[in-house]
Amino acid sequence: MKTSKKNVLAEVKRYIVITFALLIMCFGWTAFLIPNHLMGGGVNGIAALIYWGTDGAISTGVSVFVINAVLLLIALKVIGFGFGIKTAYSIVMASVFMSVLQHFITDPIMAGEMQPFVSDHFLAAILGGGLAGASIGLAFTQGGSTGGTDIVAMMVCKYVNVSQGRVLLISNIIILACSFIVGNTIEDFIYSCVVLGVNSYCVDLVLTGNKQTVQAFIFTSEPDKVAERISTEMMRGVTMINGTGWYTKHEGPILMVVAHKRESQQILRIVKDEDPKAFMTMNTVMGAYGKGFEQIRK
């Protein structure tokens, strides 16, 4: 019963994070990119093209929903039903957020009334692309997606060992090239390329930061207590290595633990609680593969 309740709370937390990521992504688009006639690729970029091409007759929210719905049907078969539920939720929420935010944040190009939050195109590209990219990466860490080409990226990365940011960058360049159809200038195109670069970098930055791992060697007089707490509280494996101190000639176990970087403070706290005089080293690991970490791929 406790395990079931814990799983439900964890799932609710994931949906809350995904919702927050979607809100940030839509804000980046409606507040910085669309008002400055900049594109960032993906379904949102296609929706922006449709919005500009129809003089605002078809809102970005409607286009995002229709296009994503088609991609979702493909993802249900390729990636799985669990992913489909989160993506379906993301599609609906992204469509709502885009429509609502666009209603309150008037596009000065179409309405001719409000000034954009940031009038400088370069700064708008950095802020809009950064917010959109970071939000996509955040959604990925929760097993979800912000929809669109994110779905394509996850499907490709399931079978090919390539970063999701790179897949997004390639697919978005193709979409970006279509911006000239609606009259975007060379200047708009160049700034939109900046958006794509920042977007791709932020996706990988968030994902890499989430996957960073550390390897800790712990020299303590209470190895059993420290190992037991790390195992039960953190659900992390602990390896005991027999060692001998050259100066003291004292034999004793050395604890080796591999964990995510975000868990390093918890390891330090456990060691300090059990043995304040313990000696410990911690190094960043290039990669950790297997149970509890990243899946081993061919």
Kindly tell me if the per-residue pLDDT of 18 is higher than 80. yes
The whole-chain average pLDDT of the chain stands at 81
Q: What is the pLDDT of residue 150?
A: 66
CA distance 59 to 106: 12
pLDDT tier, 107 (very low <50, low <70, confident <90, very high otherwise): very low
Kindly tell me if the per-residue pLDDT of 110 is higher than 60. no
pLDDT tier, 116 (very low <50, low <70, confident <90, very high otherwise): low
Mean pLDDT of 4-19: 84
Q: What is the pLDDT of residue 114?
A: 42
CA distance 45 to 30: 12
Domains and CATH numbers, the chain: 2-210 (no CATH), 213-285 (3.30.70.120)
Helix (H, G, I), strand (E, B) or coil at 238: strand
**3-state secondary structure labels for all residues of 183-229:** CCCHHHHHHHHHHHHHHHHHHHHHHHHHHCEEEEEEECCCHHHHHHH
- Per residue in 242-274, pLDDT (tens digit) is 988 888 888 889 999 999 887 888 899 999 999
Cα radius of gyration rounded to whole Å, the chain = 24
Element (H, E) at 243: strand 238-244
- pTM score, whole prediction: 0.66
CA distance 61 to 137: 21
Mean pLDDT of 148-173: 72
Burial 154-168 (b: 16+ CB within 10 A, else e): bbbbeeeeeebbebb
Kindly tell me if the per-residue pLDDT of 108 is higher than 50. no
